[in-house]
Amino acid sequence: MTSEKDLLRKAHSFDPDALAEIYDSYSPGIYRYAFRLLGEQDLAEDCLAETLSRFLLALKNNGGPREHLQAYLYRIAHNYITDQYRRKEQWEHELTEAHPDLEQDVRASLNSRIDENKLRHALSCLTPDQRQVVVLKFIEGMDNRAIARSIGKPISAVKSLQHRALAALRRMLKNELEEE
């Protein structure tokens, strides 16, 4: 397997094999990240396509990363998701609980979906950095060093962002529960 630097060097010359390897290696993680934050497959596919398209455009303009490709791609995806959050106020509860005739298992699945959307809504209320840190840490399972590279901040700042993000989430979810 080619190292990341060699891969990026070949990618700068638009080597098809290197670009195919990049797609195969990094697209699943970007897709999962986008889906976890956006909650829909189509939106996640769009996010993945846009992220990789911006990456190619950067390579064409003789830009793009020389190292830490994964962090670079996550940063692009995160920016896209943030833009999506700002663009649409779709994190309203699309699914209501006013379906008394549904079967029990269907109802459970629906409740789970509603809870996930509430959680995503709470995530969307965080600042972009807090959201990214929380998602990368607790959903993607990355360590603090990798997160620091992704957001371009020191590890101490990552820890601080993580602490404040969790506190904010806890407060928002508690309020949500109390309102119910």
Partner 1 sequence: MNMFRNLPFQSNSDVISLLVKLQTVPDRQPEQVESGRRLFLEQAEVYRVEIARLDKRRQGYKRVNSFTRLKDFQYIRLFSTIMIILLISMVGASLTLAASQSSLPGQAFYPLKLWSEDLRLNLSYYSPASYLLALDFSDQRMREIEAITKSGGVPPDAVLVRLENQSDLAIAAALRLEQRQAIMAMQAIHNRIQSQNQVLEQLEQEFQVQPQVEQTLSRTREMLQLRLRQVEMYLEEPSLFLQPLPQVSAQVSPGSLLLQQSEVVPKGTPVPGNLPGTAGFPAGCISCTPGGTLSPSTLAPGSIQSTPAGSQPAQTTAGNQPNQPGSPSTGENQPGSPPEAPGNQPDKPERPGPGGYRKR
Q: List residues near partner 1 by CB under 8 A.
A: 14, 16, 19-20, 23-24, 27-28, 31-32, 35-36, 41, 45, 48-49, 52-53, 56-57, 59-60, 108, 111-112, 114-116, 118-120, 134-135, 138-139, 141, 166-167, 169-170, 173-174, 176-177, 180
Q: Is residue 171 packed enough to be buried (19+ CB in 10 Å), middle (13-18) or exposed (0-12)?
A: exposed
Q: Which amino acid, one-letter code, is at 174?
A: K
Residue closer to partner 1, measured from CB, 119 or 125: 119
Tell me how far, at minimum, the Cβ of 71 lies from partner 1, in Å.
19
What CA–CA distance (Å, rounded) separates 53 from 117?
A: 28
Q: Rounded to the nearest whole angstrom, what is the least distance from the CB of residue 83 to partner 1 in the complex?
A: 20
Nearer to partner 1, 66 or 170 (CB): 170
**What is residue 87's three-state secondary structure?**
helix
Do 132 and 151 form a contact (C-beta atoms < 8 A)?
yes
Determine phi and psi for 141, rounding to 5 degrees. 80, 25
Q: How far is the CB of 84 from partner 1 (least distance, A)?
A: 16
Task: Name the residue nearer to partner 1 (CB basis): 3 or 104.
Answer: 104
- d(CA 59, CA 12) in angstroms, rounded, equals 6
